[in-house]
Chain A
Amino acid sequence: MSANENKKLMESIFARVAAGDRTAYVDCLADDVTMRVTGQYSWSRTFKGKAALVRELYGYLHTLLADGRRTIPLRFIADDDHVVVEARGNMETKAGVRYDNEYCLIYRLKDGKIVEIREYCDSALTEAVLGKFPEPAKAEN
């Protein structure tokens, strides 16, 4: 697909998710998608595969955030097989604390599927509001 088609696909995904249809996004993830949360903070890691990404990252976020969380796209920049989306979160934790992070999301697409994601955001805010990402069975730092 062309850069323009990839951009249109990402625009339509963000529009459908904003309208409450999260499956539009999940359906477009390739089975072997990888998502890297960039940086060196507790959430920084690579989620490998759609099942792991949905369960370990989105599943965990679902336990923290109130229903109806939104990511509002501000700009789409497409070049070849990459689409960059600058976005603003519009979320609240279940405890009622605002969580409006700033994101730069970089998607690599192939044949109409998202195969790679890299996320840049305000990591200090993530840890301040959502806490550290849980490390299973880890006794000490």
Chain B
Amino acid sequence: MSSAENKKLMQEIFAGLANRNGTLLIECMSEDFRWINIGTNKWSGTFDGKEAVLRDLLAPLRGKLIERSRTVAHRFIAEDDYVVVEARGDNVTKAGRQYNNEYCFVFRLSDGKIRQVKEYSDTALIDTVLGDPKEMPAAG
């Protein structure tokens, strides 16, 4: 696919994410999809494979928030296989804290599938607001 087609696909994916709908994002992940979070906090590192991304990253994140996450993109920059998306989160944790991180996602695509994303965000905010992915807030 061309960079224009890749950009259009990411715009469609983020139209969903702005409405708390990650269906298309998940649909477009290749089986060997890799998600890399920068930094050295408890959410940092490489999640290898779609299954691991869903289980070890996105499910714990969902567990921290009062509802499905909302991410609003404000710029798309595309060249060849890469689409860079700048975005802002609009979320509240179960502990009642605002979690509005600023993201720069560097996506690599091929054949209409997302192969990799590297997420740059405010890691200090993640430490402060999200804490440990393994620690689940008490129900209710």
* Contact indicator per residue, chain B 117-129, by CB within 8 Å of chain A (1) or not (0): 0101111111100
Contact B79 A120 (CB under 8 A): no
Partner of A118, one of B39, B41, B78, B86: B86
Is the Cβ of B77 less than 8 Å from the Cβ of A120?
no
Tell me the minimal C-beta distance from B56 to chain A in angstroms: 20
Q: Find the A residue at minimum CB distance from B103.
A: A120
Determine if A122 and B123 form an interchain contact, defined as CB atoms under 8 angstroms apart. Answer: yes
In the complex, the answer to whether B125 meets A40 with C-beta atoms within 8 Å is yes
State whether A41 touches B125 (Cβ < 8 A): yes
Give the distance in Å from the alpha carbon of A124 to the alpha carbon of B113 in the complex. 32
User: Total A-B residue pairs with C-beta atoms closer than 8 Å?
Assistant: 86
Known: A122-B40, A125-B123. A79 touches B106 (CB 8 A): no
A38 touches B124 (CB 8 A): no
A39 touching B39 by the CB < 8 A rule?
Answer: no
Q: Is B3 an interface residue (CB 8 A)?
A: yes
Q: Is A11 an interface residue (CB 8 A)?
A: no
Q: A102-B120, A104-B120, A118-B86 are in contact. Are A124 and B102 (CB under 8 A)?
A: no
Number of interface residues of A (CB under 8 A): 27
Contacts A78-B79, A120-B104 given; does A84 touch B84 at CB 8 Å: yes
Residues of A84-104 at the interface with B, using a CB-CB cut-off of 8 Å, are: 84, 86, 102-104
Residue B18 at the chain A interface, CB threshold 8 Å: no
When chains A and B are docked, how far (Å) is the Cα of A103 from the Cα of B40? 14
Q: Is B24 in the interface zone, CB < 8 Å from A?
A: no
Tell me the complex Cα distance, A126–B38, Å.
13
Q: Does A10 contact B (CB under 8 A)?
A: no
**A86–B102 contact, CB under 8 A?**
no
Which listed residue, A41, A82, A126, touches B77 by the CB 8 Å rule? A82
- Which residues on A sit within 8 Å (CB–CB) of B127? 124
Contact mask A67-83 → B, CB, 8 Å, 1/0? 00000000101111010
